Amino acid sequence: MSKIKLTMLVLGGLLIGNANLYAAPIPEVDAPEVTVSGDAVETEPPANTASTKEDETPITRSELQGVRSEIAVLSDQLTRQLTRTIANSNRALLISGTLQNRYSATTWQNTSPYNITPGFSFNSAILSLSGNLKKDYEEGKNIDYAVGLSAAGSVNPTKTVTGTNTYAMTVTAATFQPTDAYLRYSILPSLSIDQPYLYIQLGQQKRPFGVEPQATEDKQPAINLATFSGPTGLNLSARDIGLQLKGDLFPIVDLGYNLRTPTIEYALGVFNGTGPNQLENNRSKDFAARINFNAPVEYNSDFRGLTIGSSFSTGKQDLAVINNPSQFISGGSGKASKVRYGGDISYVASPIGFTAEYAVGRDEQALSAKNAYATALTTTTQSSGYTLTLFYEWGEQFQKDYRSQSRSDDWWPKTYQPFVRFDHWDPNTAVAGNETTVLTAGFNFFFAQTTKLQLNYTVSDNKLTNLKENDFILQFQYGF
């Protein structure tokens, strides 16, 4: 009877329903085989069916009840284990995150005291949630969502002179703020990779401008942003709330490597223009657009990874005083024009690659703070910035055949990537001697799927403040 119990355990679901406990299977008896030979009829005796009858003996009610009890116990144990160890959600959910720990130090500076006190710091922690709200199995017109939370503090406490040999430590506490928070709907069918895609995104998201400004925190090549992309420049990397249309045309598909390369990618968007986690403060809106062309080649081509792009953005902002962007003119809320445009070229391949970006900003500003908006004299200030990054890499992490091969435990191919970057920023091209240049030599060590160690040494020269300094930054970035 042990064989019967084992079989019924495996197929226990079939025994939960109603069953006829008294019905025994009808044993099959081989009929006598009749052979006709001339006028004689020969009959062969049936085969011995003793073993068949023994195997087909019906089970009793008590045995069936015992099997049902064992199935119920196993079901209860499995349910308790899943409840305790697996989170539940109404829809499919992907949880990911990125954390960054740093060590920073100023190795040389032309003034004293140094700006950065050597020490360890927590830079940021990002928690990302993404999933699907509606799955279209016929055409792939899905509705997806993305939500992100980021906690970021100051990179390092900064010493500020308050008296003779007395210094005050200024520390910015880490606070959680939403990063991405948007819905995405696929307007065109997305099940076939050889057809163009078209999406619409609503919510807080990256604006379509440039290459580095659109890179998320875990994909940025260097530890610090390029100056034109950061808050001390044009702040192009900041997220904004609005509506964006993204799509591509003429995709080239290499099925052998599962590679899809759209020849043309485009994006159009309308945004508040006030930045992340901010309500609209005027009637105007910002408009942004980007188009880039990818080399229409297959995986083994030397031109794979070559992209040329162009970006444009325009909108309104509060009228500020020239050379003092924190001082605003009365009545000038949402009245000053702002324009951003730029171009980029990148070749992201192995082992050699480069990225180059150029961006220009044109901002309407008041010449003086004495007059209100109605009588204020204004001018247009033009700023510009560019960055060039060259890198060389060796290792197997970015080679698809190594990444897709079977592995034991948590093995992952390692890759080493030294790079050098030159960053230039000019806040007012009409004024000489106010540029900022930053030369960065770095090394990225990718030793896990979501983990890398970054070492950067920067040499910066701010001619506007006459500050020169060299900084060393080590960052350990890991994710899940």
**C-beta separation of 272 from 296 below 8 A:** no
- Alpha carbon distance 311, 210 (integer Å): 6
Check whether 9 has a pLDDT greater than 70: no
Please give the distance of CA 157 from its chain centroid, rounded to a whole number: 29
Backbone angles phi, psi at 120, to 5 degrees: -90, 150
Mean pLDDT, all residues of the chain:
82
Q: Is the pLDDT of residue 41 over 90?
A: no
The pTM assigned to this predicted structure is 0.77
pLDDT, tens only, 80-113: 887 777 777 888 889 999 999 999 999 999 987 7
Model confidence at 159, pLDDT cuts 50, 70, 90, reads very low
Which pLDDT score is estimated for 411?
A: 52
Q: Look at residue 419 and give its three-state secondary structure.
A: strand
Q: With CA atoms as reference, report the closest residue to 129 among 110, 150, 145, 141.
A: 145
Assigned token pair, 368: 């003086």
Name the token pair of 153.
């503090």
Minimum mean pLDDT range among 18-27, 147-156, 200-209, 400-409: 18-27
Token pair belonging to 477: 């970035």
Please, which contacts does 449-452 make with residues 24 or more away whose CB atoms are closer than 8 Å?
Answer: 449/412, 450/98, 450/218, 450/478, 450/479, 450/480, 451/477, 451/478, 451/479, 452/477
206 sits in which H/E element: strand 198-206
Among 237, 244, 235, CA closest to 270: 244
Residues in the chain, overall count = 480
* CATH 2.40.160.10 placement within the chain: 87-479
Q: Which of 111, 271, 115 is nearest to 205 (CA)?
A: 271
**pLDDT tens digits along 430-461:** 999 999 999 999 999 988 777 899 999 999 99
Average of pLDDT values for 277-294?
92
| Distance separating alpha carbons of residues 45 and 33, to the nearest angstrom | 7
Q: What is the Cα–Cα distance from 259 to 299, expressed in whole angstroms?
A: 7
- Say if residue 25 is preceded by a cis peptide, omega within 30 of 0: no
Task: Name the helix (H) or strand (E) containing 464.
Answer: none
pLDDT of residue 11: 45
Identify whether the C-beta of residue 121 lies closer than 8 Å to the C-beta of residue 475: no
Distance CA 365, CA 324 (A): 9
375-423 pLDDT per residue, tens: 888 899 999 999 999 999 887 655 554 455 444 445 555 688 899 999 9
Straight-line distance from the first to the last Cα atom of the chain, in angstroms, rounded to the nearest whole number: 49
Quick one: pLDDT band at residue 165, thresholds 50, 70, 90?
Answer: very low
Tell me the pLDDT band of 58, cut-offs 50, 70 and 90.
confident
Could you give the CA distance from residue 329 to residue 239 in angstroms, rounded to a whole number? 26
Q: How far apart are CA 119 and CA 405, in angstroms?
A: 41
Q: 442 near 90, Cβ under 8 Å? A: no
Q: Which range (69-83, 348-362, 415-429) has the least confidence?
A: 69-83
Give dist(CA 179, CA 149) in Å, integer.
6
| Sole residue written with tokens 């379509």 | 208
Q: What per-residue confidence (pLDDT) applies to 413? A: 56
Q: Which of 201-205, 328-332, 365-369 has the highest mean pLDDT?
A: 201-205
Q: What is the pLDDT of residue 157?
A: 42
Share of the chain above pLDDT 70, in %: 79
**β-pair partners for 61:** none
The residue type of 21 is: L
Percent helix, strand and coil across the chain, each rounded to 5? Answer: 10, 50, 40
The architecture of the domain spanning 87-479 is: Beta Barrel (2.40)
